[in-house]
Amino acid sequence: MRLIILLGLFVVSCTAKTVRQDRRFPDDFIFGTATASYQIEGGWEADGKGENIWDYMTHNKPEVIKDMTNGDIAADTYNNYKRDVEMMRELGLDAYRFSLSWARLLPDGFTNNVNEAGVTFYNNYIDEMIKYNIQPMVTLYHWDLPQKLQELGGFVNPLFTDWFEDYARLAFERFGDRVKFWITFNEPREICYEGYGAATKAPILNATAVGTYLCAKNLVIAHAKAYHAYVKDFKPNQNGQCGITISVNWFGPATDSEEDHIMAELRRQAEWGLYAEPIFSQQGGFPKELSERVAEKSAKQGYASSRMPSFTDEERDLVRGSFDFFGVNHYTAFLASAAKEHKTYYPVPSLYDDSDSSTYTPDDWPKSASGWLKLAPNSIFDAFTFLRNKYGDIDFYVTENGWSTSPTAGLIDDDRVRYYRAALNSLLDAREAGVNIKGYMAWSLMDNFEWMEGITERFGLYEVDFEDPARSRTPRKSAFVYKHIIKNRYIDSDYKPESLTMTIDDGL
C-alpha cells in the first residue's frame, strides 16, 4: 500500500541520508505509539463486555464531558484492529502500547466469569502485531474499572489488591506467551487524585480529604502483588518484564529561593512521588515531607489520625523494588512559586492544600489547543535526570508523550512536529547525561476519545474521521516525520518546518 499526502512543493523522501551529527538513537532503542482501550475500542457492550466506570459516567452524566460524547464507538478499534496494525506498519513501529479492558475480559470484574469473546479479540490483536514483528506492550489498567467493582468501593476497598492480582494473573496466563512487556497501572495520579480526590476523571468521587491517599496505598500494593505474581509464577517461562507507568511532568522552582525549591519538591511529591517513592526509593513508603505535612494538618483539622494511611513493615517490603522498569508519561512542565501572585487556593482538606504548593507556566511557552499542554524547554531532560539522581541507574521508558490540536487543525500539524522534535532532542540530552531511556511511545497512534474533553482535543499521528461510520484514518504530517525519525534513528538537523511533500511506502 502506498499513501501519498501532498503538503507543498519541496520533496523529502523517507530514505536514509548521510548523517552529519553523532546524536543517534541506538538500534535497540524502541520506538512506538500508545493508546488506551476505552479511548479507541468502542464496542462498549459488544460480545459480552461488561460496563466500566466510563460507560456508567458518560451514560448517566453526559454533561461532564465537554462535548457530551462518549467512548461507545470511539475510533472503533474493536472492528478495525487490522487497520490499526497496518498503520503501525506504515510508521515502521518497533512496538505498540495498548491497554486491556478489564470489563471486556471479566464483565463483573471477577475471574469466575471470563468473557471468551474478549479474550479472542485481544488474541487476534496481539497475533496481528506479532505477525509483523511489532512488540505488544500491554497496560493492564488504563482507567476503565468494571462498574461492578466500583460499586464495591473500587480502589478504596482494601480487597481491590486481590481483585487486581486475580485479573493480572488471567492476563499473564492468556497472553503472556507473546506479550513480554507488562505495565500494571497507567498514571496513578490521574486514577487516585482526579478520580477519587477530585471530580475530573471517573468515578468523580471527589473525596478530597482521603480519597487520593486511600487509593494510592491500595494501588501500589495491587501493583506489587501483580508484579510478584508475574516474577514468581510466569517470568521463569515467559521471560518478560513488568513495571508501572507514572505521569511525571516536571516541576521546577520559579526562582533559586529556598521557598521555591521547597515548594517544587512538595509538588513533585504530591504529583508523582506519592506513587514512585513506595516502589522505587530505598526506604519505601509515602514521601517523608508530604507525609509529615498531612499528619500535621490532619491533627489541626481535628482528625484522630493522619488522613494519609501508613504502610506496615510487611507492606513496605512488598512494594519496595517491585519493578523491572519505570514507565514515564511526560507532557509538560510547571514552575513552583511562593510568590503571592501565583498563590492558588484548593479545597480544604485536599492533596494540593496539604502540599502547600502553587504552580504556573510562563506565557511565552507555546501552548496546544487545550491550553494546559505547553512546550516547556528541556522538560524531558529535567524530569529524567532528576529521576535518575533520585532512584538510581534503572531502566526508563517514555510510555506517553504527545501534543494536541483542535478538531479543525487538519493534517498539517507543524506544531506537533515541533513538539516531537523538541521532546526527542531533550530525550537524547538525557541519554547523553547517563539516563538509561530505552524506548519512546508517542501519544497517540490516532485520534481518540480524550476523556473529559471528548473528541474536542486530538492527539493522533493519524486523523480519525468521527463523522464517518467506518472511522477512516488518515496520516498527518507528523506521522511522516515520525516515520523518518524511526527509520533513520536520528533527528534531521536540517529539517525545515515549511510545507513538504512526503511519501509513506510501507512495503505491503
* Per-residue pLDDT tens digits for 253-283: 999 999 999 999 999 999 999 999 999 999 9
Q: For position 508, what pLDDT does the model report?
A: 34
The answer to whether the CB of 115 falls within 8 A of the CB of 75 is no
C-alpha cell at 436: 538509561
Per the omega criterion (within 30 degrees of 0), is the bond before 349 cis?
yes
Q: What's the mean pLDDT when you consider all of the chain?
A: 94
pLDDT at 19 over 60: no
Q: For position 2, what pLDDT does the model report?
A: 39
Chain position carrying cell 477530585: 198
Chain position carrying cell 471477577: 110
Kindly indicate the confidence band of residue 16, based on its pLDDT and cuts at 50, 70 and 90.
very low
In whole angstroms, give the CA distance from residue 281 to residue 155: 23
Active-site annotation holder among 51, 90, 165, 187:
187
Q: For position 498, what pLDDT does the model report?
A: 63
Active-site annotation holder among 400, 450, 457, 463:
400
The number of residues in the chain equals: 508
3 state SS of 390: helix
Q: For position 128, what pLDDT does the model report?
A: 98
DSSP category for residue 108: T
User: Is 187 one of the annotated active-site residues of the chain?
Assistant: yes
Q: What is the largest CA-CA distance in the chain?
A: 71
Taking residue 47's Cβ as centre, other Cβ atoms within 10 Å add up to 13
Count the alpha carbons within 13 Å of 323 in the hemisphere toward its beta carbon. Answer: 29
Sort strands 333-336 and 359-360 into parallel, antiparallel or unpaired: antiparallel
C-alpha cell at 190: 490521574
Cα-atom radius of gyration of the chain, to the nearest Å? Answer: 22
In whole angstroms, give the CA distance from residue 490 to residue 502: 18
CA distances from 53 to 118, 142, 193 (A): 18, 12, 16
Q: Which of 258-267, 288-297, 499-508 has the lowest average pLDDT?
A: 499-508
Beta strands in 125-240 (DSSP E): 135-141, 181-186
pLDDT at 11 over 60: no
C-alpha cell at 324: 523491572
